Amino acid sequence: MKTLKLNLLLSALIISLVTFTSCSEDDSDTTPIMLGSSVTVTNTFQSTVFTNGAELDIEDLFQMPAGSLAATANVSTAVEFPNYLLNLYDINIDGNSISLEVVAQANDPTYGDLFRILEADTFDRYYLTFDSAQDVKGFTSSNPSVNLRIDSDNILVVEIGEGYDFNPDQNFEIILN
């Protein structure tokens, strides 16, 4: 009888240790985006007013060579894309979030005349293409005018739309899960 109780106690102890050990490893090592991953950011713009409803690469709107405004960096704890898109945004990506902050000033020669509340049917999209699959399953946004589209395991699209306050010193964060 004592041997049976001892075996049951040992079995329960082993099961508990295995369960708690595996849970703590899973929880601490998993983030939706892997630090060190290479990511390329590109931008498109779509508007019934400016593009007749077509989604155009930003280079087309600025009359620049195709792909010339694309940028690549490795995901880290620092801002990956400072002054992205001709000094418009700082873009920061980490293991759990994506954030954009407007760094252009009110009198900026490129953007000064474009600052406004975005109209209906207007979309400013930032395509984040990773060199490897990421584990983003969902998100929450700090701004109701900002959405995240998960096109695939390695392509995320930050979609800024109607109602966004596109003005200096604006920022938002997308929390990933």
Q: What is the per-residue pLDDT across 22-77, written as a single tens digit (0 to 9) for each?
A: 443 444 568 999 999 999 999 999 999 899 999 999 999 999 999 999 999 999 99
pLDDT (average), residues 135-147: 98
pLDDT (average), residues 135-139: 98
Residues 2 and 86 in one domain: no
Residues 22 and 47 in one domain: no
Residues 67 and 117 in one domain: yes
Q: Which helix (H) or strand (E) holds 99?
A: strand 97-102
Give the pLDDT of residue 150: 98
Residues 24 and 87 in one domain: no
* Distances, alpha carbon 49 to alpha carbons 9, 126, 159, in Å: 72, 20, 18
CA dist., res. 160 & res. 103, Å (int)? 16
Give the pLDDT of residue 86: 96
Residues 98 and 137 in one domain: yes
Helical spans, DSSP H, in 30-154: 58-62, 84-87
pLDDT (average), residues 93-111: 97
Residues 92 and 136 in one domain: yes
Give the pLDDT of residue 2: 55
Residues 44 and 127 in one domain: yes
Residues 43 and 124 in one domain: yes
Q: What average pLDDT does the chain have?
A: 89
Residues 42 and 108 in one domain: yes
| Number of domains the chain is built from | 2
**Residue 66 lies in domain:** 38-176
Rg of the Cα atoms in the chain = 22
Give the pLDDT of residue 10: 42
Residues 127 and 103 in one domain: yes
CA dist., res. 75 & res. 39, Å (int)? 7
**Non-local CB neighbours of 11 within 8 Å, separated by 6+ positions:** none
Give the pLDDT of residue 29: 66
Residues 137 and 171 in one domain: yes
The pLDDT confidence band at residue 94, using thresholds 50, 70 and 90, is: very high
Residues 46 and 131 in one domain: yes
pLDDT (average), residues 94-112: 97
